[in-house]
Amino acid sequence: MDIDEYYVDYQKLADAMKYYESLGYTVKSVPWLVDAAAGDATCPKGVLKLDTVLGRLPASGENSYMHLMMHEELAPGRYVCCTPCYRAEPVIDAIRHYWFIKVELIDTIEFNFEKLLQDALEFLSQYVPCKIVEFEDGTKDIVTVDGEIELGSYGVREIAPFGKWAYGTGLAEPRLSYVLQTQEIRK
């Protein structure tokens, strides 16, 4: 299948938002353009930054939360948002895109990424068998059971002047739709 054959399933995004809200996450409207400092903080060195005359296109909802933290517009809490994400990926294929839509989770109170991870694992497991992979730095990913495709990343960050928070992916589209479609093809 060609990369253009995978579409964002907005119903899955809406279902994810409702699911996380039912678990006590507060739905938060966040900016879709951020200050460069919020975009730079988690951007790996050498990655192209996507600036416009109005601000930086965020790589994830985490950058949007950071923008709010920087401007003291985010009270401590557990939040869920849905944003477009822009990446200057060196390789573009069926699972890596220049843009995608992501439900992002953040906890600025308890910094409990294990809770975010378990909540996401429960949600994603409704659609596809998946497992948790741990890395040496303590961060974790949810991946498909075969370990081929990462469905979300989870950890804790502390970056001045933003503060400390736990972060995690609630759902990334069209990545989940791609996994589901390729499973159908394999049957």
Percent of the chain at pLDDT above 90? 65
pLDDT value of residue 89 = 65
What pLDDT is recorded for position 149?
A: 92
- The answer for residues whose C-beta is within 8 angstroms of residue 125's C-beta and 6 or more apart is none
**Mean pLDDT, 10 residues at a time, over the chain (187 residues)?**
68 98 97 90 75 88 92 95 82 70 96 96 97 97 91 95 94 92 63
Chain Cα centroid distance, residue 118 = 15
3-186 adopts what CATH topology? BirA Bifunctional Protein; domain 2 (3.30.930)
pLDDT reported for residue 11: 97
Q: Where exactly are the structural domains of the chain?
A: 3-186
